[in-house]
A and B are shown apart, each in its own frame.
Chain A
Amino acid sequence: MAAWSDLTFDALEHITSLLSFSDRYRFGAVCKNWRSVSKGTQHPPAPQLPWLVLEEESETRKRKFYSLSEDKHYSIEIPELYGRYICGSSHGWLFAVDIKISGIIINPFTRKYYELPPLPAYHKNVDVTTLIENVPSDCMERPRGFTFKEMQTAIVFKAILSHDPDEMSDFTIMILFGQMHSPAFWRPGDSSWTVVDGPKCAMEDVLYFQENFYIISAMNVLYVVDFEPEPKLIEVGPQICPEICLEGCALQRYLIDFNENMILIERFSLSVGNELPITHGFNMIEPNLEEDCLYEWYDIDDYAIFLGRNSAIFVDSSDVPECKKNAIYFTHITESVSPVEFGFHDLGVYDITDKRINTFYSVGVFPPRVDSPVWFTPNSS
């Protein structure tokens, strides 16, 4: 009988190419030879559903991740993320901000990171020093000011990368910051953030699509970022009628590059009484820039889309058996500045075919938390 250590490089490489990210990591920890194979291979890992980045463990400060494909939590020691909030994820990198409003981007698996210059002031009347660390739940008299937790979506609402910094050193980070979610960008070598000039209305999402950054406003106007000579927003594309929102109904817009089509996804939420809004459905529209017209989309075949504070991700369910097809997985984005702790009240998967919403995690897996979890595609190449 031959030994496992007799397997040739080709065979080991073929096996690793069939393993998912986490299985490949474990495979590489078996012995030195296998480690060199798993590190040296050019094959991307077998597709998996994205992970969710959760909050840190309060005692150990380890960062918690949830792998949807494996229905498993991982707690990983990443000191760079201690005390930070995750406001965005692209290409396996996380954008994280701490209480002093300083940001980093980091690939938590290669541990490569970039320290970013101080973020632009998120509100002209709010000074960083007014942020308070935490309000104990039994505190009778609440200190003045807001906690970092409460303000985090107003500090940076979303952050995306144009490219994987490991593949292209000349990348751009675009953030939506402040009360109006105004765009600003940073490139390696810049000493500060550059704010993009634009209309004074709230922005809702940003997308890097065919070498340009696109931003959608709460008024359903699409803009492209024009970098030269002075960075500014320019209206582009066909006119998109704003959806009429009834009372108690909220709308959140997302932009996604879906197989080289730009799709605007509208997410409808309804709140009853004083309850927090709950997602009820989605609409998909393609603003076609070349033809200057709009196309309604009614299905996405075998694909699933993952929406949240990340660059939207899509997965082909025929590659990942546990993935629902023609579906939208979503997480909530905390927008309310509320001292009330609430749980994972609005996580789910929307079936585009029958328009139903289901949970995607096992019952009891998620304890109620405050942070909005962020979808994330681990990448250690």
Chain B
Amino acid sequence: MITLISSDKRKFHVLEEVANQSLTIRDVIEDRRGRRRADRIILVTNINSKIPEKVIVYWLRHFLMPEEIAHASMSHKKAEKLKKWEAKFFDTDIDTLNDLILAADSLDIPSLFDGACEKVSDILKNRSAEEVGEISKIENEFTHEEEEEEIPSENAWVWRNEFA
């Protein structure tokens, strides 16, 4: 059993085999094998407790259906079921997705990273830069002149998503 500690100091106990889906954790465990119990505690400082919870749910679902089997011999029906489950799993607000990407990135969980990025790209589709700026709360720091200069031909259509 290993222990994950989130930024808000909550502890999560996970079976090693399950947590192994994080390549980062797998390496850490490998490095610390045979050492004291305290070394089996991993701090996940950049994410709050809501995220490890989600990550663990994701791990458990995938642990029951390991990736290699998923690709090689999973029946069509089971693959569909997992796809449906993933669609529901990623159907969350954009800030959670952002946190999931960060967690998947730092813990190195490729399938979670890909899934969350894909969902974010789906959300960005067909939105103007203004809308994306609002959703992501990112300030557009281009000055008007820069906008003209750097995004010359396209600024109008990029910004307003306009119809002719």
- B-binding residues in A (CB < 8 A): 1-8, 10-11, 14-15, 18-20, 23, 25-32, 34-35, 46, 57, 64, 70, 72-78, 108-109, 111
Contact = CB atoms under 8 A, between A and B. Distances in A.
Nearest to B134: A30
Interface residues of B, number: 45
Given A2-B46, A27-B132, A109-B153, A7 B98 contact: yes
Contacts of B20: none
A11 B137 contact: no
Contact of A29 (B117, B155, B163, B164): B155
B141 A70 contact: no
Given A5-B138, A26-B124, A31-B141, 5 more contacts: A7-B102, A18-B118, A26-B161, A34-B138, A78-B153
A169 to B, nearest CB: 23
30 contacts: A1-B95, A1-B99, A2-B99, A5-B138, A7-B98, A11-B101, A11-B113, A11-B117, A14-B113, A14-B114, A15-B121, A18-B117, A19-B124, A23-B125, A26-B124, A26-B128, A27-B124, A29-B140, A29-B155, A31-B140, A32-B141, A34-B138, A35-B150, A46-B121, A72-B161, A73-B163, A74-B162, A76-B154, A77-B152, A111-B153
Interface in B130-164: 132-133, 136-142, 147, 150-159, 161-164
Contact of A77 (B118, B127, B133, B153): B153
Contacts of A70: 126
A10 B161 contact: no
Residue of A7, A29, A78 most packed against chain B (CB within 10 A): A29
Contacts of B95: 1-2
B142 A32 contact: yes
Contacts of B99: 1-2
B105 A11 contact: yes
B154 A4 contact: no
Contact of A75 (B120, B124, B132, B164): B164
A26 B153 contact: no
Contacts, number: 114
Interface of B: 46-48, 95, 98-99, 101-102, 105, 113-114, 117-118, 120-121, 124-129, 132-133, 136-142, 147, 150-159, 161-164
Nearest to A54: B164
B95 to A, nearest CB: 5
Contacts of A14: 113-114, 117
A74 B164 contact: yes
Given A4-B136, A30-B129, A19 B153 contact: no
Contacts of A35: 150
A75 B137 CA distance: 28
Given A15-B117, A29-B129, A2 B157 contact: no
B156 A23 contact: no
A74 B159 CA distance: 12
A18 to B, nearest CB: 4
Nearest to B125: A23
Nearest to A66: B164
B153 A30 contact: no
Contact of B164 (A2, A46, A73): A73
Nearest to A380: B154
A3 B129 contact: no
A7 B105 CA distance: 9
A97 B120 CA distance: 42
A31 B138 contact: yes
Contacts of A76: 153-154, 156-157
Given A31-B139, A31-B141, A4 B114 contact: no
A11 B48 contact: no
Contacts of A3: 98, 137
7 A-B pairs with the lowest CB-CB distances in the bound complex, closest first: A18-B121, A29-B129, A4-B136, A73-B164, A14-B117, A29-B158, A74-B157
Nearest to B95: A1
A11 B120 CA distance: 10
A1 B48 contact: yes
A189 B129 CA distance: 40
Given A15-B120, A18-B117, A26 B132 contact: yes
Residue of A14, A26, A72 most packed against chain B (CB within 10 A): A26
Contacts of A109: 153-154
Contacts of B158: 25-26, 29
Given A2-B47, A15-B120, A10 B105 contact: yes
A15 B164 contact: no
Contacts of A30: 129, 132-133, 136, 138, 140
Nearest to A60: B164
A7 B101 contact: yes
A31 B101 CA distance: 19
